[in-house]
């Protein structure tokens, strides 16, 4: 069949999808996609996959796509991040038979047009892109037009700049999205400022986009696209049932339950630790049941005419948006915890206690804490975590492992020997080849020398 393009691709292959679940690292796995589809999502993306690892690692392909396929999970778009155009195309070719399109996450602007053009020419499915805006509308529009010219068939525009992340996220600019929509002739999805179905409808009306993508809003209320705000346990129990049929890493499940129960865990904080510590799926389900019981007790004590506490639109046991606090509000919610390391580094952190110290002070209210004497650690050049003191790349173990694997290098400080193992493997193969050209009796001698 010919490859559909632009609006024909959106209307026929994607069924004119308007309600879209975003690609979310470790969060938009098969079980969550199925839950979202049951509650109004019309199109889903996989988590962002690393193209280079996808090409090299058969287990990575199996775990993230090949064994995470079922008929109900369509239409589906697979998203990759990649800097090398050839590697991106290789990964896309391996994935194209399991999806309806391949999406390129354009976090890095290098060689963008070449990556898109090469994929557009070689793949049997359309290429789509997801971008963030530049501060200037004109530059954002030019960027979008360049992608369309290179072969992008559908463009998702996140209305925030690359600097707007975490506590600095702020509001997304629908004006940028509207300008892009007017400037290109391919379908456009909007991403940003979506907390409820009314936001979806208003975004489509204000910007003229073909669809709206939700990430954080979907994580806190998977029924967002239905226009419902059900009890948290209703969706938590349904999700856990799906996970039993379509297993995924326990860390994904735990993260989803933390999002769903976020507001309740601000009230019943002792169960936060329980949810963090359990090591089985049934253990997580047991904590979820206990949270439900606590909510039912809270409901029984609820007085007629009583309103939700704080700024919440609904009582804590109802699925509802989470408004991310700004930089100065980051510690207002006792459960909106930042990391211990972030607390230690923050200026004036002598007035803010880590979670561990808060627990100690609860046990002994008279206990006081002086300035931390913990020495400053040397940071990893890439992620900011503590780097290995003997790492040849000056990185933490995680970043070092990725780089050593990518460059086929050794790092004795972290015990990573990719280069050495490859050389030994090649030597062994050379010994085998050499042995094959000699008398059979000489093979053990050659093989022994190669191992030595």
Q: How far, in Å, are 391, 435, 436, 448 from residue 445 at the CA level? A: 37, 9, 12, 5
Cis peptide leading into residue 75 (ω within 30°): yes
The phi-psi region of residue 192 (left if phi > 0; otherwise alpha if psi is between -120 and 50; otherwise beta) is left
Contact 300, 269 (CB under 8 A): no
Question: Whose CA is closest to 147, among 131, 163, 161, 158?
Answer: 131
Cα–Cα distance for residue pair 424/432, rounded to 1 Å = 12
Helix (H, G, I), strand (E, B) or coil at 200: helix
Catalytic (active site) residue 99: no
Contact 183, 155 (CB under 8 A): no
Question: Which listed residue (81, 108, 152, 248) is catalytic?
Answer: 108
Structure-token pair, residue 432:
């085998």
| Helix residue ranges, H only, 151-280 | 174-183, 197-207, 216-220, 232-245, 250-260, 262-267, 270-277
Structure-token pair, residue 134:
């530049």
Residues acting as catalytic residues = 108
């Amino acid at each position: 069949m010919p490859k559909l393009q632009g609006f024909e691709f959106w209307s026929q292959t994607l069924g004119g999808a308007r309600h879209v679940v975003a690609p979310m690292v470790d969060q938009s796995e098969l079980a969550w996609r199925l839950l979202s589809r049951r509650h109004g999502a019309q199109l889903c993306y996989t988590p962002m996959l690393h193209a280079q690892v996808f090409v090299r690692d058969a287990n990575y392909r199996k775990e993230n796509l090949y064994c995470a396929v079922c008929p109900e999970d369509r239409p589906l778009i697979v998203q990759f991040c990649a800097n090398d155009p050839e590697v991106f195309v290789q990964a896309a070719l391996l994935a194209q038979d399991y999806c309806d399109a391949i999406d390129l996450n354009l976090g890095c602007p290098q060689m963008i047009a070449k990556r898109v053009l090469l994929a557009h020419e070689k793949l049997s499915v359309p290429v789509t892109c997801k971008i963030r805006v530049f501060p200037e509308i004109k530059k954002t529009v030019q960027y979008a037009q360049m992608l369309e010219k290179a072969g992008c068939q559908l463009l998702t525009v996140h209305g925030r700049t690359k600097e707007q992340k975490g506590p600095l996220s702020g509001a997304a600019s629908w004006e940028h999205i509207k300008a892009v929509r007017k400037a290109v002739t391919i379908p456009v999805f909007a991403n940003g400022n979506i907390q409820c179905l009314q936001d979806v409808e208003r975004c489509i009306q204000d910007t003229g986009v073909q669809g709206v993508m939700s990430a954080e809003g979907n994580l806190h209320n998977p029924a967002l696209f239905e226009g419902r705000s059900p009890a948290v346990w209703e969706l938590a129990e349904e999700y856990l049932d799906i996970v039993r049929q379509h297993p995924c890493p326990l860390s994904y499940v735990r993260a989803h339950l933390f999002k769903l129960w976020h507001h309740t865990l601000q009230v019943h904080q002792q169960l936060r630790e329980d949810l963090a510590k359990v090591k089985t799926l049934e253990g997580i389900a047991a904590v979820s049941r206990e949270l439900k019981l606590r909510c039912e007790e809270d409901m029984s004590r609820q007085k007629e005419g009583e309103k939700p506490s704080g700024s919440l639109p609904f009582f804590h046991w109802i699925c509802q948006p989470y408004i991310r606090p700004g930089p100065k509000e980051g510690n207002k919610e006792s459960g909106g915890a930042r990391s211990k390391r972030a607390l230690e580094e923050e200026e004036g952190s002598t007035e803010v206690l880590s979670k561990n110290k808060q627990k100690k002070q609860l046990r002994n209210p008279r206990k006081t804490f002086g300035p931390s004497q913990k020495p400053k650690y040397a940071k990893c050049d890439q992620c900011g975590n503590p780097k290995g003191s003997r790492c040849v790349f000056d990185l933490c173990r995680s970043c070092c492992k990725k780089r050593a694997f990518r460059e086929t290098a050794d790092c004795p400080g972290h015990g990573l020997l990719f280069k050495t193992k490859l050389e030994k493997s090649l030597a062994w193969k050379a010994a085998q080849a050499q042995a094959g050209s000699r008398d059979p009796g000489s093979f053990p001698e050659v093989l022994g020398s190669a191992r030595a």
